[in-house]
Amino acid sequence: MSVVLGDKEFFPSVGKIEFEGRDSDNPFAFKWYDENRVVAGKTMKEWLRFSGCYWHTFCGQGHDPFGPGTQKFAWNDYADAKGRATAKMDAAFEFFTKMNLPYYCFHDVDLIDEENSSVDEFGKKLDFITDYAKEKQAASGVKLLWGTANLFTNPRYMNGAGTNPHFPTLARAGAQLKLAIDATIKLNGENYVFWGGREGYVSLLNTNMKQELDNFAAWLHMAKDYARKQGFTGNFFIEPKPMEPTKHQYDFDTATVSGFLNKYGLQDDFKVNIEVNHATLANHTFQHELQVAADNGILGSIDANRGDYQNAWDTDQFPNNINEAVEAMLVFVEAGGLQGGGVNFDAKTRRESTDMEDIFLGHIGGMDTFARGLIIADEILTKSKYKALRAERYSTFQSGKGKEFTEGKITLEELAEIGAAVGEPEQISGKQELFENIINQYI
């Protein structure tokens, strides 16, 4: 199959990226990601389900609050929206195919410019570009992991979308939401994502939090019910983030989202899409967020990136921290992997990285980082004493009175009697350094 799916080759200096192994000096080859390698009973391709994102890779051009973009994209050289959209899609599928990415993701306005269109006009634009996307998917074999609506960039959504205090604005957002769900279903998207970019508040002084949360739950129920009526059987994901652009976002972290889903009866249809950089902004580790999601049965998907440890904002860099990847993959493998989602690279090249080939290098490094983390995690789980040592810390709950306690068979009075009889309990070391050394041993 050709890796060029349009009339023009946008990345002529880069061919198809192949696996060559860790001894290869070729920067345009995978050192660790071998999609057919079996790890813990599944191939790497099955475990990781890698995805490329439309927004950072093909829409972002390196701009920041202090200056315009530095990256020049040939697909933006067309004067009209449809010309830019089709050229961008040609470039996107050339990239996905050369990178051997099985999936991609998008916001609605990533596919084609909204340009102050009415709802009907934007719907026609989406119909046009999704018709083209269907052709591209069929020609390449690349599938849609999930779609979503951008309900945070346009000034109309400055006070939120599903939580907006102004009903006409909420309704306008609902119209755009419907179009995005329709586009996702049309392209056989496997999931649908909600990121509450402005679903939160800047000041509590002018905010009725209960009203906004009740409204947001109603909004999600309506979206879910509509999609199900259209035959959509996939998962809905909520992507946690604590703040930025708002002061406080209602999907603060995975634990907050889990409580929200259970409170409003959404737990059977919604899971979480965990972003690494969002986890660290919430003062959590990536593995913490994965563990909370796994323990609550809502580990749906991953947005793979990293933050800068010296910055307190969302830098969306490509992942390269092996220790972090290994610890995350320990949770990932023990949980049995993701429920419906994949590992989507919500990451962007740096503003100073202006060559088109830099986009490939970032993805190669990120895919190798996750693949290497997966291999090492499996070796730790199967060859080391890691699991046995952790189980030993909780061994007193596996029999006798400890087991009766976990089964709810002991009253507080009985627990107090046991505690009095125990006296001063033995001091047991947590052996944290040993656990950390095991990780380093297998790296």
Give the active site residue among 34, 90, 110, 314. 110
Catalytic residue list contains 110: yes
Structure tokens at 174: 């609902």
Give me Rg for the CA atoms of the chain: 24
436/284 Cα distance (integer angstroms):
18
Instruction: Choose the catalytic residue: 107, 278, 284, 288.
Output: 107
Q: Are 106 and 147 in contact (CB under 8 A)?
A: yes
Which of the residues are catalytic?
A: 107, 110
